[in-house]
Amino acid sequence: MVIVVGGMIGLGKTSVSEIISEELNSQVFYESVDDNPILPLFYSSSDEEIKMNRYPFLLQLYFLNKRFESIKKAFVHKNNILDRSIYEDWYFCKKNMELGRISELEMSIYESLLNNMMEELRFFPKKSPDIFIYLKGSFDTVLKRITSRGREYELDKKLVSYYKHIWEGYDDWMYNVYDKSDVLTIDMDRMDVVNNETDRKELLKLVKDRLNVTSGSFI
């Protein structure tokens, strides 16, 4: 069984993945953040530097490569959780194209590479996740969570409009474009699964009920 945990930047994908992993005795394939050489440049560079060095396109290619590595492993071995996934990468790439940070030509190259990768999955024991756990929250919650986790390169005030642009289209992509699996929405405006034991138990109950898991591990 494969679970994807996704949603807007800052809403707690890694924390939720770890909570579910511990309860269901599964492995997490983490998003490449701390060891990502492009991410700090993507967030901290000026508009001129971004245009000159094409950091958004390079970042999306970097993530695409890492996600494909993860999904290949997750779809071969049993009981895995993907901390974000290859499916959301297209959405981020599209939103950056809308902002002019990725060109139409770059988007075309990206989509061609993505489609080739997805074709390879037809040879794997699994073809898609069993469930996508979508972490949903208001924009105020997103900003509070980004601030509280304190990654310096994410805190520049000029990034607020970028975050807003990504946030504004997420529900539409999730509910009207994504079609690879069932979706379980978790309301992060009212749940604090890290600091509140009751919320953590509710999260696990929602996930287990949706997956029809009755014991402490995957069926």
Q: Which residues are catalytic?
A: 83
62 vs 90: CA distance, rounded Å: 13
For residue 52, the tally of other CB atoms under 10 A from its CB is 10
According to the 3-state scheme, what is the secondary structure of the chain? CEEEEEECCCCCHHHHHHHHHHHHCCEEECCCCCCCCCHHHHHHCCHHHHHHHCHHHHHHHHHHHHHHHHHHHHHHCCCEEEECCHHHHHHHHHHHHHCCCCCHHHHHHHHHHHHHHHHHHHHCCCCCCCEEEEEECCHHHHHHHHHHHCCHHHCCHHHHHHHHHHHHHHHHHHHHHCCCCEEEEEECCCCCCCCCHHHHHHHHHHHHHHHCCCCCCCC
* CB proximity list for 8: less than 8 A, separation 6 or greater: 135, 136, 137, 142, 163, 166, 167, 170
2 vs 83: CA distance, rounded Å: 11
